[in-house]
Structure 1
Amino acid sequence: MNFLNAKPIDRRTFLRGTGACLALPWLEAMMPRGAFAASSPEVVPRMGMFYFGTGMNMRQFYPEGFGPDAKMSRILKPMENHRGNFTVLSNTWLNEGGGHDGAYPFATSIARGEKQTISPDQLAAEIHGKHTRFPSLQFSVKRGTGFGSQVLATISWNRQGVPLAAENDPQTIFNRLFKPNSEEQQARQGDEFRQRGSVLDAILTDAKQLEGKLGQADRRQLDQYFNSIREVEQTLKREIDWADRPKPTPNLKGYGDYENAPTPEGNGKFVYDTYAKLMYDLIALAFQTDSTRVISYVVRTELAGGVYPEFGVSKGYHELTHHGNDPKNLEELAKVDTIYMKHWSYFLDRLASIQDGDGSLLDHTMLGFSSGMGIGHSKDLLPTVLSGGGRLGINHQTHLELKEQTPLASVWHTMIDKMGVPTETKYQDSTGVIGELVG
């Protein structure tokens, strides 16, 4: 067979059997004619934003020295084997951060109580979500939004400044991504689509009849309402478009048990190590199957939780952050932070092990994590790390010293720039793309 003249296989080809389907991995046969001699396969960029509530022990977080050969700190030691695939960013800052409201400005730079705006992950979703079953996914250790409280469960906001609810149940997420609907579920889904469409039509008809009777301020308010309805319409259309397309069935060899996965609100069988790996593996699977290209994840919320019995420490995470310079508190805080970084290293291991085009999934995925505070509830010196994305043009340096009070928005600005998102000259309070990372 002449491979140079053969028609390429579609990147989303599925193997179909008796009631199941399996998404093919990337194959050379998916490359266009002549690609073997001319070019690499299409690069699909992906991004993830991750929030670690209540800061970290910054006294043992930053590496010693700067540049590629910087010596790993105690907390970041688990990431040593990924040197060259991440950069610790010193001096990131949230103008509206600090205290326990930092999750609100984390992605948007806008303080709690102020009108929010669209978050960077959703800007990327508007472009890349056209090609995937889910424009974006929101994960969290706590279900819902938590909006109005300090325990915010999401960092994603739509164009109307409405928080997008997060899911924390691995089984629910897995089923949504990969479990085929039964005939009964499909029929019920079709009825639901029709009902929702009828309701939307009725609402729009009634709302438009009011438009001519309203003043300018009310018309602006109604326009925002129309925008929200249009979003619902677009979501409905997307669900209808994807309803008859088979979900991918990934190879789960070496992965955890999603059929019996407990949630954080579950029973005494909950073990955080198991949960963390299930959640990180779900992100890897979602990216690998091109179910989405954009994910946000609140790994640890403010105030509540953050410490689990198997961690072997004496206090909750929030209580430990009020350390009072007590050596035991600081030691236990660093111990907990190191556990979280072990899980992060596991996540990077998983992404690096998955072939994707001309590299690994890690090569084509940018993952940014930080917090709404540093240590002592300060909004300065945040624990900020950018991982992955080497084939997307990210030039990793292990430890990069930025200018003092570099807005965290500059990190998001850099990521969405590499996602191909056009931004205005003034993006949030960003001082611009971080040139040292992309030069």
Structure 2
Amino acid sequence: MDPTPRVVFVRLFGDMGSTDPAARNARLRRQSSILDSVLDKVRHLHGDLGHRDQRKIDEYVDSVREIERRIQNAEADGRALPLVDSPAGIPVDYDEHARLMFDMQALAFQTDSTRVITFQIGREQSGATYPQIGVSDSHHPISHHGGDPQKIASLQRINAYHVSLLGYFLDKLAATDDGDGSVLDNVAILYGSAISEGNRHDSRNLPLLLAGGAGGRLAGGRHLRYPRRTQRLTNLQLTLLNLLGVPAEKFGDSTGERLGELAGVARATTG
């Protein structure tokens, strides 16, 4: 995952075919916005569309401009207050950084610029702290809590904070129109961790959250539990691959077993 909003933005929505700083600066001198190169075409297209499609075009243009404005503000802050190990364009505030990255992911799905995204919310071994939620220690040492109630409470606050950021993303997807439903109705979001208990580095019995409708192929609103040591995360990932139109017989160390056939993760579709 690239943590720099500017680089992600350019990869998704274009620039001059290069993410080189010199090329970007040359483009910025000639254009006030990345959209300037296509606005004439957008205006022409706008007149040929129905009201609903015009609204989607307007939403797209407004979203891209808003994200670019926030990136430019972050870069300006970086020049005024240079930070060690913080490249220009990364917001100083982690909450703003995470939400900006989520906004770009939502826009990428909305515009079908990509259909696969991997994003790491947690700071894990970075050494960064969470002052915005009152946690002064970094994530990794807190996860090795040794049964200390104070550290466990801090770890719970971090987990709740991460889930709140995910909630922001899901709410945004749910509020974005996508034909006969929302973007959330047509995607599958798998949220979780490779470790269930950091204190012991235990990777068994992982808590996972699966959101989205996958175009009507996933039924939500349920809590599924599997007996310990009876299923693998890669079996769930294999199930999702096939549900999302990627035929596969095996993924990683999966056994080839598809959870949808076992526990009703997938719901039947008609048509």
Is the CA contact (8 Å cut-off) linking 2:219 and 2:265 kept in structure 1? Answer: yes
> Which one of 200, 205, 209 corresponds to residue 385 of structure 1?
209
> Which one of 133, 136, 156 corresponds to residue 311 of structure 1?
133
- State the one-letter code of the partner of 1:176: R
Aligned to 2:160: 338
Q: Using the alignment, how far apart are the partners of 1:276 and 1:397 within structure 2?
A: 26
> Which one of 99, 102, 121 corresponds to residue 280 of structure 1?
102
Higher helix fraction: Structure 1 or Structure 2? 2
| TM-superposed deviation, 1:317 | 0.7
Residues 8-63 of structure 1: CA deviation (Å, up to 9, x unaligned): xxxxxxxxxxxxxxxxxxxxxxxxxxxxxxxxxxxxxxxxxxxxxxxxxxxxxxxx
Residues 1:349 and 2:171 aligned together: yes
Bigger RCO (CA 8 Å, 6+ sep): 1
| TM-superposed deviation, 1:411 | 1.7
Aligned to 2:242: 417
SS at match of 2:196: coil
- State the one-letter code of the partner of 2:4: D
Q: How has the CA–CA distance of structure 1 residues 305 and 433 changed in structure 2, closer, same or farther, with 3 Å as cutoff?
A: farther
Aligned to 2:8: 173
How many residues end up aligned between the 2 structures?
213
| TM-superposed deviation, 1:301 | 5.1
Q: How has the CA–CA distance of structure 1 residues 341 and 306 changed in structure 2, closer, same or farther, with 3 Å as cutoff?
A: farther
Residues 1:323 and 2:140 aligned together: no
Q: Using the alignment, how far apart are the partners of 2:223 and 2:128 within structure 1?
A: 26
> Which one of 253, 265, 269 corresponds to residue 86 of structure 2?
265
Q: How has the CA–CA distance of structure 1 residues 388 and 316 changed in structure 2, closer, same or farther, with 3 Å as cutoff?
A: same
Is the CA contact (8 Å cut-off) linking 1:372 and 1:382 kept in structure 2? Answer: yes
> Which one of 242, 256, 266 corresponds to residue 438 of structure 1?
266
- State the one-letter code of the partner of 2:266: V
| TM-superposed deviation, 1:291 | 0.8
Q: Using the alignment, how far apart are the partners of 1:306 and 1:418 within structure 2?
A: 37
Residues 58-86 of structure 1: CA deviation (Å, up to 9, x unaligned): xxxxxxxxxxxxxxxxxxxxxxxxxxxxx
Structure ID, larger Rg: 1
| TM-score, structure 2 normalization | 0.69
Unaligned stretches of 5+ residues in structure 1:
1-138, 140-166, 189-245
| TM-score, structure 1 normalization | 0.44
Q: How has the CA–CA distance of structure 1 residues 259 and 324 changed in structure 2, closer, same or farther, with 3 Å as cutoff?
A: same
Q: How has the CA–CA distance of structure 1 residues 395 and 328 changed in structure 2, closer, same or farther, with 3 Å as cutoff?
A: same
Residues 228-264 of structure 1: CA deviation (Å, up to 9, x unaligned): xxxxxxxxxxxxxxxxxx9996322775712233698
Q: Using the alignment, how far apart are the partners of 1:312 and 1:293 within structure 2?
A: 36
- State the one-letter code of the partner of 2:220: H
Is the CA contact (8 Å cut-off) linking 2:98 and 2:165 kept in structure 1? Answer: yes
| TM-superposed deviation, 1:354 | 0.7
- State the one-letter code of the partner of 1:410: N
Q: Using the alignment, how far apart are the partners of 1:259 and 1:269 within structure 2?
A: 10
Unaligned stretches of 5+ residues in structure 2:
24-40, 43-56, 79-84
RMSD, matched Cα = 3.0
Aligned to 2:62: 251
SS at match of 1:368: strand
Aligned to 2:26: none
Percent identity at matched positions? Answer: 34
Matches within 5 A, 1:33-182: 139=1, 167-181=2-16
Aligned to 1:397: 221
Is the CA contact (8 Å cut-off) linking 1:367 and 1:386 kept in structure 2? Answer: yes
Is the CA contact (8 Å cut-off) linking 1:288 and 1:361 kept in structure 2? Answer: yes
